[in-house]
């Protein structure tokens, strides 16, 4: 329990990604570099999701030496974020025209809720990214024991991606962040995970606990 409390405290202290010393738009992309940092953020110039304080962005981050597209969700409270990670599941994917849909794995991180490809999917997405003229991003959330929420799916028009990638390699990309650490040894079973999430939400002031989690997330995700 102490580990999860510390994880929540860490997430609550995440700074807003602002105050960039330099910001450059290249085609449909924006590259921003925090002052004094060599880990720059490349993102599509418009949120594909922007509701009730929750934003969803298509970003490009480094996976080793490979630049891969990821989906970044930011704006959820730390309590909802951690509880959803424990009691729910996320269905996220990226697809280029004429290519198979690539599933992403989502994790709570210090930079937000990041959905990134595994190594094999990352190689395929990286190969298609530079020349793709559009991309379809999809995110769906569900809570165990409840009906899935409507998925958010958007097609984004891309331009000058190859030039933006070249610039990102020069200034230095942000790496795919590591998941927030947590010792799940005491909550390995689904029932244990649900119980922990329920206690966490109630302790944070959400009186309905897990039973109200879907309604909380629906505020952000419903069309």
Within-domain flag for 48: yes
Q: Any residues with CB less than 8 A from the CB of 47 and at least 6 apart, and which?
A: 55, 56, 57
Residue from 13, 47, 29 nearest 171 by CA = 29
Asked if 222 and 30 touch (Cβ cutoff 8 Å), the reply is: no
Asked if residue 192 is part of any domain, the answer here is no
Residue 26 domain boundaries:
2-178+210-221
Give the Cα separation of 42 and 214 in Å (integer): 31
Whether residue 194 lies inside any domain: the answer is no
Residue 15 lies in a domain: yes
In a domain, 205, yes or no: no
Task: State how many domains the chain has.
Answer: 1
pLDDT: which is higher, 106 or 168? 168
pLDDT tens digit string along 179-218? 875 443 333 444 544 555 565 556 556 566 666 666 666 6
Establish if 95 belongs to a structural domain.
yes
Token pair 């269905």 in the structure block, residue? 91
pTM for the full predicted model:
0.72
Mean pLDDT of the chain, nearest integer: 77
The residues, ordered by sequence, that sit 6+ positions from 69 with a Cβ below 8 Å of its Cβ are: 58, 59, 60, 94, 117, 125, 129, 135
């Amino acid at each position: 329990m102490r580990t999860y409390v510390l994880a929540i405290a860490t997430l609550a202290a995440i700074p807003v990604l602002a105050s960039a010393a330099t910001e450059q738009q290249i085609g449909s992309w924006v590259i921003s570099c925090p002052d004094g940092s060599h880990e720059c953020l490349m993102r599509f110039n418009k949120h594909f999701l922007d509701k009730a304080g929750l934003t969803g962005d298509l970003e490009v981050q480094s996976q080793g030496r490979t630049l891969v597209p990821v989906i970044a969700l930011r704006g959820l409270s730390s309590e909802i974020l951690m509880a959803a990670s424990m009691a729910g599941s996320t269905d996220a994917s990226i697809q280029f025209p004429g290519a198979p849909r690539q599933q992403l794995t989502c994790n709570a991180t210090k930079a937000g809720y990041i959905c990134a490809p595994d190594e094999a999917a990352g190689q395929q997405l990286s190969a298609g990214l530079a020349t793709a003229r559009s991309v379809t991003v999809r995110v769906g959330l569900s809570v165990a024991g409840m009906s899935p929420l409507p998925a958010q799916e958007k097609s984004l028009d891309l331009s000058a991606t190859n030039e933006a990638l070249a610039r990102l390699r020069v200034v230095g990309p942000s790496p795919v962040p590591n998941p927030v650490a947590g010792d799940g040894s005491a909550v390995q079973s689904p029932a244990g995970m649900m119980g922990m999430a329920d206690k966490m939400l109630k302790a944070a002031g959400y009186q309905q606990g897990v039973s109200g989690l879907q309604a909380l997330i629906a505020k952000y995700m419903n069309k």
